[in-house]
Structure 1
């Protein structure tokens, strides 16, 4: 009698474990990064101006804003622009000298993500590198002309791939300060 119970139980487990699932891309900390030459620049990584210049060279433009209001008074926001890469770096009020990477916007193939997706990659290549990534819920619904996004809600990090005619045209990696 025990065999009669085990066989249906085995079949149930086998079918439920092998059935296709609606997978969702769950990014890890290293997925919020770009590659610059042989270095990785990761979201929320602390980085000095000299280190950044050593990796990316001198920026085209660089500005520093002193923030006021909304609990950020005294904090600084540094904006740097390179050919095909714009970054925002944040320094909390109690520091002022050490900045961490808050935003990276890529518009050139020179800076791929840690999974190898770059400007010019196809939607298929992006999906293969990030299995289960979802079309953004931003009102656009065409898979070949829209945005794909993934987030790590615990850390408030996001990555967004803008797609036009089936090709990645922009990559935004950013941290939302809660």
Structure 2
């Protein structure tokens, strides 16, 4: 298991996410702006030199962790836990989670949206019991009902240095950044 799982509150989060059927995804701290990858984060930082910039992991519900192709193979719930911008804008340990109801067909399906809203409320309640405050929304992902959940776990964030930057650059183009495919406990 990657070191981010053992950070402040991480074990509780991992256990809760498994219980609700979420798969752990690679916690890429940054993605290039305008890249071909469908993953996206809601925080942006300009590049030091030249054009472009970076999308940064951070607390908020403007992100996409799931790739459309994953839905076809049944991966409809994913989360990442690692470095990100906390609620105050400084580095922190951040949880991002996304769940899609593949049976919804469109975002006006109230049953699917209601089910995802209940999931958001349950996650919020479970994590709040351990001192972790979450924010969530139910919206759309590829015309399907979608829950996006984020939380700032605080604690010491993962260090971002040349080694991390190289790891991020080398993993952006990979197709399946799933790092934890264990079967959830019953």
Work out whether the TM-score is over 0.5. no
RCO comparison, higher one (Cα < 8 Å, 6+): 2
Q: When you count helix as a share of all residues, which structure comes out higher?
A: 2
Select the structure of larger CA radius of gyration: 1
TM-score (norm 1): 0.29
Q: When you count strand as a share of all residues, which structure comes out higher?
A: 1
TM-score (norm 2): 0.29
